[in-house]
Amino acid sequence: MYNLSSITAPQISPVYSSMAAFSPGIEAGGKHGMGSNKKLLVALIAASTAMGAIILFLLCFWVYHRKHINKSKEKRSHSSDVAKGLALVPFPFLGKYNTFKTSYRKGSAATTMDYNVLESATNNFSESEILGMGGFGCVYKAKLEENLCVAVKRLEGRTSDAIKEFETEVELLSNIQHPNIISLLGCSVHAETRLIVYELMQNGSLETQLHGPSRGSALTWNLRMKIALDVARGLEYLHDYCHPPIIHRDLKSSNILLDSNFNAKLSDFGLAVPDGAQNRNNVKLSGTLGYVAPEYLLDGKLTDKSDVYAFGIVLLELLLGRKPVEKLSPSQCQSIVTWAMPQLTDRSRLPNIVDPVIINTMDLKHLYQVAAVAVLCVQPEPSYRPLITDVLHSLIPLVPMELGGTLRLVKLAPPAFIPKPSN
């Protein structure tokens, strides 16, 4: 029934043949040594599996270790003071006074400085050292070792509002760094007095420059546009690059500080709040008359567009040289928006209301563009206002390259000398 001649010998695997050639206990032709061969295979497979598991474990451990180190470095860098990161000026004294870290809220820490050192550096908080005044105290100039000058804000009182503003500002500034945001150097708590130490801004506030004795004479058109661009960059960082986004809530010309090169930096973050975490029940209505957005004033609605409105007011100050609110009489005031809006949209009337200091130093096309941006920013309806990123990109082409923009200034060549014809 079966054709026995068709049955052939079993084929030998090439792998098995190779193993037989190098293993005396394995015969290529048959069954001899099959048991020991299986045991060897099992042992090899088990050893390979164990080795692979060990290698995989070591690889995973190495990756985790590298990530852990990188995260630690980023965290330390992110919360470090002005002596690191984006700082433009070294502050060697920080290491000397950084005796311990004080956490005011979960996840934040600031360099704690000795109260007696700061008291001495301000001549016992002498009136002659006052740089400015705020709602809860004064800002003093302080001279530390090696003639290094800083600014010290002194907050008095134990009211919940004063304490909250101190904690908010220390927490926020100890965790962010940006070239257009004031740098926190340290803080101190002594009895009921709380001190916050910042880098010193040599040219004071924008308010002082515009509305002080100089009446804006030091601010050319190009410098004013640079300041507007700097402020927009600082706000963009708060709105788009902080997590969660931060609403400044008290943007105004007195909280925009200028260094020796008129680089602008946002300051005074005591009223700042995270976007989306606030509502009318847990956030007290705060701000400065003239800068507060109408929807926040009337309905308590607070968004990043509230900061955009305040930015529009600052832009109008830069253009017109006027204060946000001016008194017409002891009982009547007029806002800069009410006064300027009819003229801002009329090109024939706009040049007549521009600050006389800059009227002959600008390109009229640029003036019209900046006025249009300001008009959009101060729209009563928040949805009509642009995002601060859109404002930023509108201003960049209007600022000279050497001041941080993309505008190429064309220098006119002096007229060629033409000799007079001889008689």
CATH code at 206-403: 1.10.510.10
What is the spatial distance between Cα 7 and Cα 28, in angstroms, rounded to a whole number? 20
Q: 173 is written with which tokens?
A: 């500034």
CB-based contact 398:407 (threshold 8 Å): yes
Low-confidence ranges of the chain (pLDDT < 70): 1-44, 47, 50, 53, 56-109, 135, 277-284, 410-423
Nearest in space to 392 (alpha carbons), one of 251, 237, 265, 233: 233
Nearest in space to 144 (alpha carbons), one of 103, 197, 105: 197
What is the spatial distance between Cα 241 and Cα 176, in angstroms, rounded to a whole number? 10
Provide the pLDDT for residue 229.
98
Nearest in space to 150 (alpha carbons), one of 185, 111, 199, 113: 199
Q: 234 is written with which tokens?
A: 């600082």
Domain 93-199 matching CATH 3.30.200.20: the answer reads yes
The CATH 3.30.200.20 domain(s) of the chain lie at 93-199
SS3 290: coil
Judging by DSSP bridges, how do beta strands 137-143 and 149-155 pair with one another? antiparallel
First to last CA, the chain: 139
CB-based contact 154:125 (threshold 8 Å): yes
Count other C-beta atoms under 10 Å from residue 129's C-beta: 18
CB-based contact 196:166 (threshold 8 Å): yes
Count other C-beta atoms under 10 Å from residue 334's C-beta: 14
CB-based contact 319:364 (threshold 8 Å): no
The CATH 1.10.510.10 domain(s) of the chain lie at 206-403
Provide the pLDDT for residue 12.
42
Cite the active site residues.
250
